Structure 1
Amino acid sequence: MFCALVQRSGLARVDDAAAADTRETPADARTLQRDWDRVIVPRAVLQGLAVLSLGASLLH
């Protein structure tokens, strides 16, 4: 589910991986950070639901 969010949002980019390999900062780093900030709430909700579901399954 998280992978679908990342792919749909366009945050997974090949250019960023190449920049990380060469230890360069992407030119649009601020835009990228803003996009990640937009995805953090749905990600936290999904992770919380996963933990709750795991806990519920352990109780039954």
Structure 2
Amino acid sequence: MMALVWVIDLVVTVVKVLGGRAEVNPVLRFGMWIAVLCAFGLGLAAVTGLVVLLEHWLDTRVGAA
């Protein structure tokens, strides 16, 4: 349960930094934004790949019937 509190605290800190409410080096803020955008792109690519695999699997299942 304590780990969940730590994760929530980390998320709040990251949101403060990205939102500009915390005084940090602008290079750090820029790097964090790049990391967030890369993570978003990676997630989008993973979902797209899974949809393509699902479509391929469904096509082979329908063709066998």
TM-score (normalised: structure 1): 0.45
Structure label with greater radius of gyration: 2
Structure with more contact order per residue of length (Cα contacts < 8 Å, sep ≥ 6): 1
TM-score (normalised: structure 2): 0.43
